[in-house]
Structure 1
Amino acid sequence: MSVRLDVDQDTGVAVVTLDRPEKLNAIDLDTARQLTQIWQGLRYDDGVRAVVLTGAGTRAFSTGIDRDAVVPQPGSPYMQDDPLLTIGPKANDLWKPVIAAVEGMACGGAFYLLGECEFIVAGTDAVFFDPHTTYGMVSAYESVLMAQRMPYGEAARMMLTGTAERISARRAHDIGLVSELTDTGAALAAAVACAAVVAGYPPAGVQGTVRALWSATETARTAGFAQAPHLIALGNLPGERQAELFAGRSTSRPRIR
C-alpha cells in the first residue's frame, strides 16, 4: 500500500499518510486510487471526526504526480483524464475537517490535496513551488486552488517562476498559506493535536462549518476548473518536448524566499 491509514479510536483522529518516501511521495495511479478509496471510506466511519494528511519522511509532503505514471487519454481534444482530480477529500464528498502536515517539498500536483485541506501546519524546512511552466506545461487546476489559499500576487509568482524559486515555510506562514510553523519534524504532532481538539466537538456542527467554509470559494473554483482542460490542451507542449526539458533541467539551486 502506498497510502497508510491510521485511526486513533480514543481521539477520533485519522492520519492519512502518503507512503512513498523513496519517490518523494509522488502520486502514481495506484496511489490516486487508494486516496479516493480512503476518503470515501472515511465518510462512513463515524468514529473518525477529524483527519490529518501528511507524507512519509521529511524530504517531501508530495512532489505531485509521478512522472513515470502513464495516463491514457481519449483521442478527442474535448476530453481529458486527470487522475488527480479525485484524490482530495472534497472531491469525494468528505466534509470532515482535514488538516495537512507538511515537511519538505510540496509542489505541483500536491496542491490538489493541499487545496482541499482546511489548513496547513508546516515544519520550518518545508518549501512550496510549482514546476509546470519550467517544463512547458500549463498550471491550471493547481493555480485555481492556490489562488484561493494565498494572495493573488504570491500565487501568480509561485506558478510563473516554476523551479527557479521556492516559497519557504516562513514566507508561506507570513502570507497565510501555512497557519502554524513548527520545528522540522514536528508538523505531524502539531496537526494531530489540533485535530484532536476539533474532533472533541459535536461532529454535526464541525462538518457543517467545513461545508460552509468550502461554499465560500466553491463557485469560483468550479468556474476556474471549467476553463482548465482547454487551457491545458492549448498551452501544454507535446509530451516528448516536456520530457526533453525535464531531462535537461538546470542543476542550479533555486532561490528560496
Structure 2
Amino acid sequence: MSAYSTLLHEVKDGVATVTLNRPERHNAFDLTMVDEVNGLWRALRYDDDVRVVVLTGAGDRAFCTGIDRSVEVPQPSSPFMVEDPALRLGPKSADLWKPVIAAVNGMACGGAFYLLGECEFIIAAEHATFFDPHTTYGMVNAFEAVHLAQRMPLGEVMRLALLGTAERMSARRAYENGLVSEVVPAQELPGAAARSASVIAGYPPEAVQGTVRAVWAAREMTRSQALATAPHLVRLGNLPADRQEGLFASRSREFRIR
C-alpha cells in the first residue's frame, strides 16, 4: 500500500491503482494532495512495472469535489497572474504519458475536471454525477471549462458551466455526450476499470505510449501538425517486424462488444 497521507497506491500486474483518499471531505484536494498527486505522477514515469493507471476516489459518494474550501491560496496583486495549485494535478502536466483510466464513483465537480481532463477515458458508476459550482459562487469557470470543451459538445459544456449547482449531469447523460465511455453499476466499477487496464497493460508499452502521444497531439495541434508528428511516433514506438509477427500469430481470438 501507499505511504502517502492523501492517496492510496498499489501496483499489481502492470496496473497502478491510485485512490484519492479524503472521503471525509468528498476527496476534495488540499495542497498536500496536490503535491502528492503530482509527485506520484512523476514517480510513475520511472516505474517500468507500471504500464497503466486507474484513478478513483475513496468511498462511493464522490470521486473528487475540487479544491477543499478551507484551503487559502494567496493570489498575486496583478490580474494578469493567477496562482492555481490545481494546474499540477493532471498526469499530463507531470509529463506522464502512460494511459490513465478514471473510475468515477460519485460526484465529480469543480477542480475534479483538472484530473478528468487529462485522463485517457472515463468509466462511471450509474450514480455518478458531474457539475461545476463556480458561477453559483461568483467565480469564473475557466480552466475546468477548457478541459470539458475538449471532450463534450459546446452546448453541453455551456449548460454544465452556467447552471452551477442548480443542475447535475447524470452518468448516463455524460455517456451520451462523450464525456464518459462506459456506465456500469457501482459494484461493477472497479472490475470494469481493471478489465480495460489489464488489457492495455498486456500490450507493448512503446506502442501504447506512442498511441497516447499521437491522440493527444491530434487534440492539441492542427491536423497538419499532428500528421507531421505521426511518422516520428511510429518510428519510436513500433516493435521490430518479427516481434509484431509473433504478437499477430499469438493474438487472442476473443473480444468484447461495448
What TM-score does the superposition give when structure 2 sets the normalisation length?
0.83
Q: Which residue number in structure 1 is paired with residue 209 of structure 2? A: 207
Counterpart residue type for residue 6 of structure 1: E
Q: Distance in 1 between matches of 2:132 and 2:79?
A: 25
Q: Which residue number in structure 2 is paired with residue 150 of structure 1? A: 152
Determine helix, strand or coil for the equivalent of 2:168: strand
Q: Which residue number in structure 2 is paired with residue 109 of structure 1? A: 111
Q: How many angstroms does 1:90 deviate by?
A: 0.3
Pair 1:90-2:70 in alignment: no
Counterpart residue type for residue 50 of structure 2: V
Q: Distance in 2 between matches of 1:135 and 1:196?
A: 41
Gaps of 5+ in 1: 221-257
Counterpart residue type for residue 77 of structure 1: P
Pair 1:2-2:45 in alignment: no
Q: Distance in 2 between matches of 1:18 and 1:31?
A: 8
Aligned 1:80-229 pairs, distance under 5 A: 80-219=82-221
Q: How many angstroms does 1:4 deviate by?
A: 1.4
Instruction: Tell which has more relative contact order, 1 or 2 (C-alpha 8 A, sep 6+).
Output: 1
Supply the RMSD in Å over aligned alpha carbons: 1.1
Q: Deviations over 1:74-120 (max 9, x none)?
A: 23333221000011100000000000000110000000000000000
Counterpart residue type for residue 92 of structure 2: K
Counterpart residue type for residue 9 of structure 2: L
**Larger Cα-atom Rg:** 2
Q: Distance in 1 between matches of 2:67 and 2:130?
A: 15
Q: Distance in 2 between matches of 1:7 and 1:193?
A: 15
Following superposition, which runs of at least 4 residues in structure 1 exceed 4 angstroms of deviation? none
What TM-score does the superposition give when structure 1 sets the normalisation length?
0.83
Q: Distance in 1 between matches of 2:8 and 2:221?
A: 32
Gaps of 5+ in 2: 223-258
How many matched pairs? 218
Q: Which residue number in structure 2 is paired with residue 29 of structure 1? A: 31
Q: How many angstroms does 1:201 deviate by?
A: 0.2
Q: How many angstroms does 1:3 deviate by?
A: 1.1
Q: Distance in 2 between matches of 1:216 and 1:147?
A: 15
